[in-house]
Amino acid sequence: MTNLAKNANLPEGVLFDLDGTLLNTAPDLGAALNNVCALYGKEPVHEDTYTPVASHGSRGLLKLAFSKELETHESELRKAFLDAYSKSIAAKTHVYEGVVPLLNALIQAQIKVAIVTNKPKQLTQELLPSFPEFDVFESVVCGDTLSVSKPDPAPLLLAAEQLGVNPTSCIYVGDAERDIQAGRNAAMTTVLAHYGYISDSDSPADWKADYGISTPLELLNIIGLPQP
């Protein structure tokens, strides 16, 4: 966190990934996947299998049960998945413990906050109203807001612009390799959320995040704010 520590100031902004960082969306994503499995006569996928890949989008999840079929029927399967997910998008999804007091502490310290997700805009707009505690976010950049998405830095830079803050005085928090890559590419301080969707086959140490946290509130220690 060189840029932040240089003048001992707090960051101007903290940007967050959504799935696996702010919200545990895996239960509803997994339910949508298994809905499609039932539709096509496939065995259901266990939560231990789908949870680590929950932030890999519809294709990553569908690949768990439809690896061969995706080559020829991806559009059809994706539509079935998104239809099922949209119908129960917030049935079991919940905010990770510690996220709300974390956001409160950031706002109290006058640090601006934003969401930068690869989730499509339509789904994001359907999901967020179920979580009024997220009304504090001044910017929400989705996977199709621009023509590029993470790991491209453009969505993060757009969020910083919308917040009116300097990207080099921002922190980006996420649970996937593309999050860390995007943050690094945007010259932001990167924080890996180890509590998110990281599978046994991942090598998070190789992603070279500036920091790692095992709970949301640990971010306050990095920033230099007291935990509530």
- Residue-by-residue DSSP string for 82-95: HHHHHHTTTSS-EE
The H or E element containing residue 189 is strand 189-193
- Determine what percent of the chain falls in helix, strand and coil, rounding each to the nearest 5: 50, 15, 40
Q: How far apart are CA 7 and CA 29, in angstroms?
A: 43
**Which residue's structure tokens are 């990934």?**
17
Output the furthest CA–CA distance in the chain (Å, rounded).
60
**Residues with catalytic roles:** 17, 19
Structure tokens of 40? 């096509």
The H or E element containing residue 158 is helix 154-163
**Which residue's structure tokens are 């999840």?**
61
Look at residue 215 and give its three-state secondary structure: coil
List, in order, residues 6 or more apart from 146 with CB less than 8 Å away.
154, 155, 158
**Rounded alpha-carbon distances, angstroms, from residue 73 to 44, 106, 219:** 19, 45, 42
